[in-house]
Chain A
Amino acid sequence: MVGSFYLIVALIAVALIFDFLNGLHDAANSIATVVSTRVLSPGIAVIWAAFFNFIAFLFFGVHVAATIGTGLISPEVVSWQVIFGALMGAISWNLITWWGGIPSSSSHALIGGLVGAGIAKGGGGAVVLPGIVKTAGAIVWSPLLGLVLALFLWLAVSWLVRRSTPFVVDQRFRVLQLVSAALYSIGHGGNDAQKTMGIIAGLMFAEGMLGEEFYVPFWVVISCYAALALGTLIGGWRIVKTMGSKITRLKPVQGFCAETAGAATLYLATWLGIPVSTTHTITGAIIGVGAARRVSAVRWGIAGSILIAWVVTLPAAALIGALFYALVSPF
């Protein structure tokens, strides 16, 4: 059954709420390094990050949105029920992991939910293989690339500053960290907002609201970037209270390397139209920076348990997505 107008509007609202929650959830990543090095106060850091999340819309196209909307599950299969399943799967898994205190990727939850609901409706044939393959591949290479880029950036920076005093290096990189934090927030906004855009546009396309060709209406673009930025803004205030011990001890020069490496990886993924986990990418970069100093500086035990949550997310969200789809499929 074709969804009624109000149903579609409701689903779009849910998608935007998901986007907002995404920003809330990830706010800490955007500001963690720049706050732990005390370059910015938490309040200003959050505004800085939210601003650059938003203006990212000027820099990126909609390739990631197209992948989400039409490149994972074939458009013929997508319906409002599938989108409902996808969103509910993602939101449920986010809530479960939030309640359980497990770090997980909202992006992976969304992709998992979408794939689960799509397969529940259309079976294996519903899947668009190229999209799935490049997304699955990016799950592995995006944190690894973040790590490797951070390592080599650290190497380059070390050679450049080898004759400087620690004090001068600190001062210079406190300023440069403003730049790298901005670059990272742009990358974060660019990749994450597009996922929700893809969901909304995919829904609208499936319900015939976009005509013959898939495209992303401008109001969808702006509202997704805005929802994400708003989430970052408000999420930041919550993070301010619980920060402290969780944030790794980084010096400005290390924060700069991690954020720049993360940003570069995100730009590449976004340019290739691949949805990736911004959390995992920046985590990879921070691990790279830690390992560059000393391999023992990285708490590999914790990294391992994060890996497990990571692997579980996609199938778990897919399952929940399929269940929610089944719930509404009779309608």
Chain B
Amino acid sequence: MLRWFYRLMPRQGMFFPLFERHAAVIVTAARALREMLKGGDQVDLRFKDILRLEHEADDIARDVLLGLRTSFITPFDRADIQSLITSMDDSIDQMQQTAKAIVLFETTTFEPDMRAMADAIVEGAELVQRAVSMLVNLTKNAAELNEICLQITRIEGEADDMHERGLGRLYQKAKAGDAMEFIRGNEVYNHLEKAVDRLDDVADEIQGIVIEHV
């Protein structure tokens, strides 16, 4: 109804490139995590990558928050911008936590279900990247954004199933005596599951923004 009016308003474009850069870092980190789960010497190599990427993401998030403090005009609600970047940063933080746990507990071999969850994380991260690139034109992309968010939620559901299955198998293997085996595996599964959950949180944030805006 007031679309002609909103078109007349001054624009603030600085936020979109920052969001896109952050999303790209998340995707790179997700891929590094998947590589890490191939085991062997990948563990140490990818670990360093993930630490570096997480710092990069933190810097970008800081830039967004600084931008919020200095820009009067924002493309959508400033509270929403803050929530979105925070939830995106949380997802890569969780990937870093996963990597740290793996290194801490000296895990070098991984279950197939863990690798499946890592695949889900990569898929989710790529979807987030696609969604973020569409934020520039919320009204036009509303329907597609909704689709993407639903897909991410579906992936999260599937990852939950993988988590359950994986834990079950782990328990069966370890119940004869190796409690430590179970504990280490559980830690990894736990963090992987949280990482997928955080990506789902990002999807929720984006859906909220679409609903508010359109």
Contacts and interface: CB of A to CB of B under 8 A. Distances in A.
Interface of A: 151, 155, 158-159, 161-167, 169, 291-292, 294-296
B72 A164 contact: yes
Contact of B10 (A158, A165, A169, A294): A158
A159 B10 CA distance: 6
Nearest to A297: B212
21 contacts: A155-B5, A155-B9, A158-B9, A158-B72, A159-B10, A162-B10, A162-B12, A162-B73, A165-B69, A165-B70, A165-B71, A166-B71, A166-B72, A167-B69, A291-B2, A292-B2, A292-B5, A294-B212, A294-B213, A296-B212, A296-B213
Most buried by B among A151, A159, A167, A294: A294
A103 to B, nearest CB: 24
Interface in B60-102: 69-73, 77-78
B180 interface: no
Nearest to B3: A295
Contacts of A292: 2, 5
A169 B73 CA distance: 11
Contacts, number: 38
A169 B9 contact: no
Contacts of B1: 295
Q: Is the interface of A mostly helix, strand, loop or mixed?
A: helix
B104 interface: no
A166 B70 CA distance: 6
B176 interface: no
Interface residues of B, number: 16
Interface in B26-77: 69-73, 77
7 tightest A-B CB contacts, nearest first: A162-B10, A165-B70, A169-B72, A166-B72, A159-B10, A162-B73, A164-B72
B63 to A, nearest CB: 15
Contacts of A295: 1-2
B143 interface: no
B213 A151 contact: no
Nearest to A157: B72
Contacts of A169: 72
Nearest to B212: A296
Given A294-B212, A294-B213, A296-B212, A162 B72 contact: yes
Interface in B1-15: 1-2, 5, 8-10, 12
Contacts of A151: 2, 5
B2 A165 contact: no
Contacts of B78: 166
Given A158-B10, A294-B213, 8 more contacts: A151-B2, A159-B10, A162-B73, A165-B69, A166-B69, A166-B71, A166-B72, A292-B5
A159 B72 CA distance: 10
Nearest to A167: B69
B139 to A, nearest CB: 11
A166 B79 CA distance: 13
B86 to A, nearest CB: 19
Interface string B132-143: 000000000000
Interface in B155-178: none
B135 to A, nearest CB: 15
B8 A155 contact: yes
Contacts of B8: 155
A151 B72 CA distance: 17
A303 B71 CA distance: 32
B80 to A, nearest CB: 11
B74 to A, nearest CB: 9
Nearest to B77: A294
B97 to A, nearest CB: 34
Contacts of A291: 2
Nearest to A166: B72
Contacts of B9: 155, 158
Contacts of B213: 294, 296
B211 to A, nearest CB: 8
B2 A158 contact: no
A161 B74 CA distance: 12
B68 to A, nearest CB: 8
Contacts of B10: 158-159, 162
A164 B12 CA distance: 12
B78 to A, nearest CB: 8
